Amino acid sequence: MLAYLIRRAMQAAVAVLVMAVLVFLGVYAVGDPVDILISPEADLAEIEEARRRLGLDRPLIEQFGIFLANALRGDLGRSFVHNEPALRLILERLPATLELAVAAMAIAILLGIPLGMLAGLRHDRPSGKAIMAGSILGFSLPNFWQGLMLIMLFAVILGWLPAGGRGETVPLFGVEVSFLTLNGLQHLLLPAVNLAIFKTALVIRLTRAGTREVMLQDYVKFARAKGLSERRVVLVHMLKNILIPVVTVLGLEFGSVVAFAVVTETVFAWPGMGKLLIDSILNLDRPVVVAYLMLIVLVFILVNFLVDVLYTLLDPRVRLAERHG
Amino acid sequence: MVTRNGWLALAAVGAMMAGAADAQTLRIGLSSEPSAIDPHYHNLGPNNAMRKHIFEGLIGQDENQRLKPELAVSWQALDDTTWEFRLREGVVFHDGSAFTAADVIWTLCRIPNVQDSPSSFTIYTRSIVAAEAKDPYTLILRTAKPHPLLPVEMSLIGIIPAPADAEDLAYDPEGCDYADWPSTEDFNSGKLAIGTGPYKLEEFVKGDRLVLVRNEDYWGEKAAWERVIFRPITSAAPRVAALLAGDVDLIDNPPVQDLPRLKADPDIEVVSGLSNRVIYLHFDHFQEPTPGVQGTGGKNPFKDRRVREAVSKAINRAAIVERIMGGLAVPASQLVPPGMFGYNPELQVEPYDPERAKELLAEAGYPEGFELVLGTPNDRYINDEKIAQAVAQMLTRIGIRTTVDASTKSVFFRRRNNYEFSFYMAGWGSGTGEASSPLRALVATQDKAKGFGGTNRGRYSNPELDRLLEQALSTVDDAKREALLQEAMAIAMRDYAILPLHYEMTSWAFRKGISYTPRMDQYTLATGVRPAP
């Protein structure tokens, strides 16, 4: 087990390093941040001076060396645009994104699983077919378009909900959250729904497939034959067995929601990490882009790692393979 | 399922929310967010606009970028290199301390000492060799050479209060004697966001909101709003939606294609005003062969004035303004718009004359034309790529077969600055509000020591123009300087050094019940928003 853990940790370190090199080179190849950040009134001498101040006049290898040396000490550099530590800028935005992601996942689970089971149980009736047709729309309509339509309908035409922003926040354990105020909740609802639509469709399809499979299993037939109520058969015997694949997929999806809620955050002007990433890419704010993507790689590696560890705990075969391999 | 009553309840809550908007609060949706509150950190539009609310300069700029007294009540040149500023008495900073000449000297000292500034304000202070307080309300600034732009430059710098241990700090152009310079982070957190302006900073949450509150002790006319909330909504469609939904009261830069719809809305008003930004085409005057031209046997056709004139005559500027800009632009005859210092009224917009253009091409030895690549950014100026496409079609019609190479601004500016284009489109806004700004940057011969040609990426060079410009930049007498600038402008235009296309107009959209005065510098200022009479 220990050897397995060490090997995984080494692989993770290599992946983070490769990512850092690729992103560093990629942003360097796109352009020079000074060309964008500097005032047009600046003359050639001032342009050179700005490049020197930001350390962009040095050879690429040297810039990367400095970055790497600092990164090993936990310093991922300072934003060219905001002159603040890149990591702090990202972590400041993390709560907003997490809040949005959790809300979206909650909606996806609370809507997706019941609807999916319904569609599975009534797969040959109009209600089941209608749910499936709806889930196809959820899959195929572009995310940003859905967002704009939600804004047009609920904010512009009906005027029920605000069109964007985060609204009022209150501190909870030192972190600003918006779901504890009415105003904050109103701001959270539309972006969370926008982000949840695709995930809901996914959960519906997974749950429906699971339901249809489980329905035909012997133990379900046996439970029915035993005279258990339909309610108990569905909510206890079937639901538990359907949940296993759904939970696995949702776990992975959660990572991607946190990392790439970019579209929703942009459409709803939600001050999360995704919006920071986009703004930073447009401004060639290399320290922030590199730090962000390294952080995300780390998150994904961590999630995968946890899943692997869970597998070794859950599935004896993985452990046996380790012992012999 | 939500019941019918449920929907009604929701609607009622929504209606309450809409009604809850406070009449004394102004909410503004901004297309670009300032990168910091520190007034000396980043010399760029969004920062400078926000700076004006909190930190004032010695001199201000009105809607037409004309200078007006702010923290200085008057200023004059005692001789060619000495300026006297009489400061306003009785002004206090947001922390209650009094404003004096020592604060100005502290500000001038601090500007070169901003850590990691991506675009420094030293370009406005480096001409100053001495700064002395004759008395607390009289400031003397000296320059090494005659420097008529000093008052304009003083209008671009926000004054911050000197800390107690720097009250007697002496100005030294080589670096003032002080160790613990204020950090940009302390401004962003609000700790040092202390100016004399009509608004105080309440809160700056990057990416989410920037909240200002009225300065009740302001020396001038009190601000019209108790609180102002700026929200960055960088994408255009959500910004318009926020206005339509009543989330914000005013937005800047509504997209041109949405303007007819906004104007038709009975609850929304739109204003547009001429900006200081000219969209221009620049030629490669230097390289031979030049990278984007083919079919000329290695020659750079743009070294021939007749070819440049042909290109200019081939472009139908009125059509671009009408069809692509939706009328929200004005055809340009030169590099600054009418009304600006140094505008030459004798210069006319180039008439559209494709026949003459073809003749000129033939005279220059290109009867069959040639192939050309036109470089342009596609996310920097209003409808930039569409304009470039139109220009390419117009040039193709006279035989210069043109293709457009459009890229995002970060890529475009790098390639342009590496001289990868023979012909490119870009824009220039005169921050100083004077013709010397585009002349010095775009057409003066590149010269690092003089600070000339910073954006002259076509490397145009004309000794006569350089001489006139240099003379203008050392002539303190305004009338004489304006005449010199007009002459320099005429030389550049008659030589077709660069082709001005049009001046952009800037638009603002807002709910009925308030008004906004358009500004030439394209800034969105809460001080310009008033409850409609």
DSSP string, B240-271: HHHHHTTS-SEEE---GGGHHHHHH-TTEEEE
Q: Which residue in the set A92, A159, A269 is minimally distant from B238, CB to CB?
A: A269
Q: Which residue in the set B232, B244, B452 is minimally distant from A156, CB to CB?
A: B244
Joined together, the tokens standing for residue B274 give: 């001429």
Are residues B224 and B66 in contact, defined by beta-carbon separation less than 8 angstroms? no
d(CA A177, CA A179): 6
Contact A162 B413 (CB under 8 A): no
Q: State the Cα torsion B509-B510-B516-B517 to the nearest 10°.
A: 10
Helix (H, G, I), strand (E, B) or coil at B397: helix
Render pLDDT for A69-122 as a digit per residue (tens, 0 to 9). Answer: 888 888 888 888 888 888 888 888 888 888 898 899 899 889 988 898 888 888
Joined together, the tokens standing for residue A101 give: 């992601």
Domain B26-248+512-531 part of CATH 3.40.190.10: yes
Residue B411 is predicted with a pLDDT of 87
- Give the distance from residue A168's alpha carbon to the nearest chain B alpha carbon, in angstroms: 11
Contact A148 B241 (CB under 8 A): yes
Q: Which residue in the set A42, A44, A163 is minimally distant from B247, CB to CB?
A: A163
Are residues B213 and B225 in contact, defined by beta-carbon separation less than 8 angstroms? no
DSSP string, B485-510: HHHHHHHHHHTTSEEEEEEEEEEEEE
Q: Which of A65-69, B131-135, B441-445 has the lowest mean pLDDT?
A: A65-69
- Give the distance from residue B450's alpha carbon to the nearest chain A alpha carbon, in angstroms: 9
Render pLDDT for A152-211 as a digit per residue (tens, 0 to 9). Answer: 888 888 888 888 888 777 777 767 777 777 888 888 899 999 988 888 898 888 888 888
DSSP code at position B364: T
Cβ contacts of A271 on chain B, cutoff 8 Å: 205-208
Contact B245 A34 (CB under 8 A): no
Beta strand pairing status for B72-79 and B293-294? Answer: unpaired
Percent of chain B with pLDDT over 90: 77
d(CA B278, CA B281): 10
d(CA B9, CA B323): 47
Which of residues A36 and B439 earns the better pLDDT score? B439
Cβ contacts of B184 on chain A, cutoff 8 Å: 83-84
In this structure, the number of other CB atoms found within 10 A of the CB of residue A59 comes to 8
Contact B414 A269 (CB under 8 A): no
Residue B1 is predicted with a pLDDT of 38
The band of A261, judged by pLDDT with boundaries at 50, 70 and 90, is: confident
Q: Return the residue of B nearest to A263 by Cα.
A: B235
Run of H or E residues at A135 = helix A126-140
The torsion angles phi and psi of A127, rounded to 5 degrees, stand at: -65, -45
Run of H or E residues at A92 = helix A86-121
Q: What is the ipTM of this complex?
A: 0.79
Residue B264, burial from CB neighbour count under 10 angstroms (0-12, 13-18, 19+): exposed
The band of A324, judged by pLDDT with boundaries at 50, 70 and 90, is: low
Contact A186 B244 (CB under 8 A): no
Cβ contacts of A93 on chain B, cutoff 8 Å: 207
Q: Which residue in the set B41, B233, B446 is minimally distant from A269, CB to CB?
A: B233
Contact B234 A33 (CB under 8 A): no
Residue B11 is predicted with a pLDDT of 45
CA distances to A144, A257, A263 from A267, rounded to whole Å, are 7, 15, 6
Residue A314, burial from CB neighbour count under 10 angstroms (0-12, 13-18, 19+): exposed
What sign for the dihedral angle of Cα A215, A216, A218, A221?
Answer: positive
Which residue is it, tokens 């004489």?
B480
Choose, out of B8, B33, B40, B43, the residue to mutate when testing the contact with A (most A CBs < 10 Å): B43
Q: State chain B's mean pLDDT as an integer.
A: 91
Q: Return the residue of B nearest to A150 by Cα.
A: B241
List of residues 6+ apart from A230 with CB closer than 8 A: A224
Q: Which residue in the set B41, B207, B247 is minimally distant from A83, CB to CB?
A: B41
Most confident listed range (A84-88, A175-179, A267-271, B503-507):
B503-507
pLDDT score of B488 more than 80: yes
Helix (H, G, I), strand (E, B) or coil at B384: helix
Residue at B309: amino acid letter: E
Contact A42 B43 (CB under 8 A): yes
Contact B411 A30 (CB under 8 A): yes
**Three-class DSSP labels, B414-457:** HHHHCCCCCEEEEEEECCCCECHHHHHHHHCCCECCCCECCCCC
- Give the distance from residue A165's alpha carbon to the nearest chain B alpha carbon, in angstroms: 7
* B238: Cα within 13 Å, side-chain hemisphere: 28
The band of A312, judged by pLDDT with boundaries at 50, 70 and 90, is: low
Run of H or E residues at B276 = strand B268-283
> Domain boundaries in chain B?
26-248+512-531, 275-505
Cβ contacts of B21 on chain A, cutoff 8 Å: none
Residue A31 is predicted with a pLDDT of 78
Contact A164 B454 (CB under 8 A): no
Q: Which residue in the set A35, A163, A282 is minimally distant from B413, CB to CB?
A: A35
Contact B245 A284 (CB under 8 A): no
The torsion angles phi and psi of B42, rounded to 5 degrees, stand at: -140, 110
Residue A218 is predicted with a pLDDT of 83
Contact B241 A156 (CB under 8 A): yes
d(CA A269, CA A194): 13
Which of residues B518 and A42 earns the better pLDDT score? B518
Cβ contacts of A49 on chain B, cutoff 8 Å: 120, 122
Cβ contacts of B453 on chain A, cutoff 8 Å: 43-44
Q: Which of A118-127, A277-286, A302-311, B224-233 has the lowest mean pLDDT?
A: A302-311
- Give the distance from residue A29's alpha carbon to the nearest chain B alpha carbon, in angstroms: 9
Q: Which residue in the set B206, B413, B453 is minimally distant from A36, CB to CB?
A: B413
What mean pLDDT is predicted for residues B285-291? 92
In this structure, the number of other CB atoms found within 10 A of the CB of residue B227 comes to 17
DSSP string, B152-204: HHHTT----PPPGGGTTPPP-TT--S-S-PPPHHHHHTTTT---SSSEEEEEE
Choose, out of A28, A57, A83, A188, the residue to mutate when testing the contact with B (most B CBs < 10 Å): A83
Residue B9 is predicted with a pLDDT of 47
pLDDT score of B61 more than 80: yes
Residue at A218: amino acid letter: D
Choose, out of B28, B47, B115, B414, the residue to mutate when testing the contact with A (most A CBs < 10 Å): B414
Q: Which of A177-186, A274-283, B524-533 has the lowest mean pLDDT?
A: A177-186
pLDDT score of B45 more than 80: yes
Q: What CATH number labels A95-271?
A: 1.10.3720.10
Cβ contacts of B15 on chain A, cutoff 8 Å: 159
The topology under which CATH files domain B275-505 is: Dipeptide-binding Protein; domain 3 (3.10.105)
pLDDT score of A315 more than 70: no
Q: Which of A12-21, B6-15, B44-53 has the lowest mean pLDDT?
A: B6-15
Percent of chain B with pLDDT over 70: 96
> Domain boundaries in chain A?
2-72, 95-271
Contact A82 B206 (CB under 8 A): yes
List of residues 6+ apart from A164 with CB closer than 8 A: A151, A187, A191, A267, A268, A269, A270, B231, B233, B238, B241, B242, B247
Contact A41 B437 (CB under 8 A): yes
Render pLDDT for B218-260 as a digit per residue (tens, 0 to 9). Answer: 999 999 999 999 999 988 888 999 999 899 999 999 988 889 8
User: Does the global pTM surpass 0.90?
Assistant: no
